[in-house]
Amino acid sequence: MGIFQILDTCETLTPIISVLKHGLMPVFQIGIPIILIVLGSVDLGKAVIASDDKEVKAAQSRLIKRCIYAVAIFFVVTIVQLLTSVLANMQNDETGNIAADSWWTCWRNA
């Protein structure tokens, strides 16, 4: 596959890649953690207002777990991008052609 074929493929995939990269991934990476933390805070607020010690401790535990999940979700996108770039570079080094790196080139240039 030549460089011009890769560029043609990238041009046809650019709208799809742009929606994924600039639309869905930021929502996944930023929106979901915010929702988790807000829901945990609401649960904790309800427990504090109820003045039940057992309920407050349970809500604190849930809030801590949700914060951990939020941090994990935030870094999943970065880790996946790092792994895919490493795999693309390894594949490109083994084969010596540009076709193995074409999808990563399209992703970066979208």
CA distance 31 to 83: 23
- Domain residues for the domain of 27 are 3-109
User: Best-predicted range by mean pLDDT among 5-9, 16-20, 33-37, 92-96?
Assistant: 33-37
Tell me the per-residue pLDDT of 6-30, one tens digit each, with 9 for 90 and over: 455 677 777 887 888 888 888 888 9
**Number of structural domains the chain divides into:** 1
Query: What is the reported pLDDT for 109?
Result: 73
Alpha-carbon distance values, 57 to 14, 39, 70 (Å): 49, 16, 20
